[in-house]
Structure 1
Amino acid sequence: MIDILERDRMPALYEISDYVNNSLWDEFYSYLIKEYGVKTILEYSKCSWAPGWNIKLKRLGKTLCTLYPHEGFFKVLVVIGENEKEEFIKLLTELTKDLQDLYHKTDKGMGQCWLMIDLEDEGDRLEDIKKIVAIRRNAKRKHG
């Protein structure tokens, strides 16, 4: 088993998948690869908010989202910036109540909202995250 906090050893993607041990990890990661042709970049974060190895998924040099692995689940960070805000607000009422609440509770600054979303089990949350990532991707294509 890998130690996600061990900075001196970058884990392989299969090791991260084994560590998370949740089929949603593989499903979401595969979706991003197939749908957007994202580039995978493993980075180590020293941030106290989310320390350890994470995976940035980039398209055309822009980060669509970042995945933070945990045992049994993972977090998805999607930044809603000025380019995405208008479209995201239109979508907001279609998202699950817990994601609406998360958005309203999340601090906003410098025109951005950093949504850190737990993904642990099947349900509407996965589909909501896909919709949010699509907004980010489309905004980056138009304005990037």
Structure 2
Amino acid sequence: MQWHEIFPQDTQPTMEDIVEYIGGEAKQLWQELMEYIEEKYKAKPKLTYSCCSGKPGWNVKFQKSGQSLGTLYPEENSFSVLLVISYKLEQKMEAILPALTDNIAEIYRHAGDYMKIGKWVMFQVKDLATLEDYKKLISVKLSPKSSK
């Protein structure tokens, strides 16, 4: 059963529901990401419902200091991330591309234009390397706070 069928618009899932739906190894990746964003950005998850035909259903958004840290879409055994990266950050992005996995660097290079303000970057997180790439991408948008 699809995510949007299990949790239609009138049935908001809990964060625990999301973790259970994701399941598998990706469940740990999701939990690690939630802890990372809370610790490094002090950002709280915001659940929203999307009627978008590409990824309908409940998703999780993070925002801090006016910067979107992305929209996360729960999937079975994975989750997808959508980031809009401003063209103003192009130089910084080019500088970190060699530090990204080949797959994510390629997705960035070929990402579509979003309303002439930036690149629309979407990818699936199934492993630790891709999760680390996501952390690097959001750090270009907003530097994480150092641990004390």
Q: Normalising TM by the smaller chain, what interval?
A: 0.7 to 0.9
Matches within 5 A, 1:89-100: 89-100=94-105
Structure 2 unaligned spans of 5+: 144-148
* Cα gap change, 1:89 to 1:17, in 2 (>3 Å): same
Rounded Cα–Cα distance in structure 2 between residues aligned with 1:81 and 1:97 = 21
Match of 1:40 among 45, 55, 59: 45
Counterpart in 2 of 1:10?
A: 12
Unaligned runs of 5+ in 1: 139-144
Per mean C-alpha deviation after superposition, the further-off stretch among 104-113 and 28-37 is: 104-113
**CA root-mean-square deviation:** 1.8
What letter matches 1:86 in structure 2? Q
- Runs of 4+ aligned residues of structure 1 deviating over 6 Å after TM superposition are none
Alignment map for 1:50-61 (pairs within 5 Å): 50-61=55-66
CA displacement at 1:106 relative to structure 2? 1.8
Gap change, CA 1:17 and 1:105, over 3 Å in 2:
same
Q: Percent identity?
A: 33
* TM-superposed deviation, 1:59: 0.9
Is 1:134–2:121 an aligned residue pair? no
Count how many residue pairs are aligned between Structure 1 and Structure 2: 137
Pair 1:111-2:117 in alignment: yes
Q: Quick one: structure 1 residues 68 and 125, their matched pair in 2 at CA, closer, same or farther if it must change by over 3 Å?
A: same
Q: Structure 1, residues 26-64: CA drift from partner, whole Å, max 9, x if none?
A: 111111111100121100001112111100011134321
User: Given that residues 69 and 83 in structure 2 are in contact (C-alpha distance below 8 angstroms), is that contact kept between their aligned partners in structure 1?
Assistant: yes
Corresponding residue to 1:66 among 64, 71, 83: 71
- Contact 1:2–1:11 (CA<8 Å) still a contact in 2? no
Q: TM-score, normalised to structure 2's length?
A: 0.84
2:89 is aligned with 1:84: yes
- Report 1 or 2 for greater relative contact order, CA contacts < 8 Å, sequence distance ≥ 6: 2
